[in-house]
Structure 1
Amino acid sequence: MNGIVSQNDVPSPQVKGADSPDVLLDVILATLDDAKAEDTVTIDLHGKSSMGDYIVVTSGRSNRHVGAIADQLSRALKDKGYGRVTVEGLPHCDWVLIDAKEVIVHVFRPEVREFYNLEKMWLAPPPEADREPRRVDA
């Protein structure tokens, strides 16, 4: 062997704590609780969307609180070995999105959360669930 290690020979680093989306969700919920986030709702996306496993919607009391929640959550995820997360909306802090891959977190000011009402959109049954089944003759 010539001492050269190919990319394929190097094991990928293990991400500690990244056991499952459920473990990630637990870390997120605990961090939101520590940050004094309010009215936290978890929406299970299994069978509804391929963009992730869960959406978490929560509120901060003010723009500053929303920004602090987002900052604390992104730091906690990095410290726990989840790497860098994508954070959008920090300049204004009305609505900050933290994309942690399997779990997407939306942190709102209360008025903005009420306006967009994401919970209603994601928790509503699909339109076809309201219809009666109908017979189709071939």
Structure 2
Amino acid sequence: MEENKVIKKSRKVAEGINPGQIKSKHVLDVALRLAMDRGLDTVIYDVKSITPMYDYVILTTGTSDKRLKSLTHEAEAALLDNNFEVGHIEGRKGSTWYLIDGKSIIIHAFLPQVREEVNFEEKYKSLPKRIITEEDLKIYSKTNAQN
């Protein structure tokens, strides 16, 4: 008798995309997945030089509470798929800012006005960063559609 087998569709982790100043393709993959889930202005900062607590910060923006909640779920799934540990998630229904603790990665998903007020970009302006572009998303989408 043949066993039922689940065939998991393989993904290509950020294949064909230049990681720039971010050396981890798995971190890049997490950010790309957030941008694919309509996270706006997604950027990765390498924060190893300013904190021993984590290595990367990913910032992304959602346009509504519903979008932020979706981004939070996608962040958790992307972290797990890339073998990162997920700690806790801060934010509740109706929140304007969610924080996803991926242990070595911290992800912030904000509404636009909150992101502007918090202004992490100013704090991190001298750090290595990688902005996710429309071209990145085209490559990522095409590469993973071929699986």
Fold match (TM-score > 0.5): yes
Task: Tell me the residue number matched to 2:18.
Answer: none
Report Cα offsets for 1:88-114 as digits up to 9, x if no partner.
113333100011111111000001111
TM, length-normalised to structure 1 = 0.67
TM, length-normalised to structure 2 = 0.63
Pairing partner for 2:34 from 27, 32, 35:
32
3-state DSSP of counterpart to 1:93? coil
Report the structure number with the largest CA radius of gyration: 1
Q: Is the 8 A contact 1:38 1:59 kept in 2?
A: yes
Change (3 A) 1:114 1:26: same
* Alpha-carbon distance, 1:83 to partner: 4.3
Map 1:14-93; keep pairs closer than 5 Å: 22-93=24-95
Aligned-partner Cα distance in 1 for 2:84–2:43: 22
Task: Tell me the residue number matched to 2:109.
Answer: 107
Q: Is the 8 A contact 2:31 2:43 kept in 1?
A: no
What are the ranges of 5 or more consecutive residues in structure 1 without an aligned counterpart? 1-16, 126-138
- Percent identical among aligned pairs is 28
**Amino acid in structure 1 at the alignment position of 2:59:** V
* Alpha-carbon distance, 1:124 to partner: 5.2
Aligned-partner Cα distance in 2 for 1:86–1:93: 15
Considering Cα pairs closer than 8 Å and 6+ residues apart, tell me whether 1 or 2 has the greater RCO: 2
**Amino acid in structure 2 at the alignment position of 1:82:** F
Backbone CA RMSD of aligned residues:
2.2
* Alpha-carbon distance, 1:49 to partner: 1.1
Aligned-partner Cα distance in 2 for 1:84–1:94: 21
3-state DSSP of counterpart to 1:74? helix
3-state DSSP of counterpart to 1:97? strand
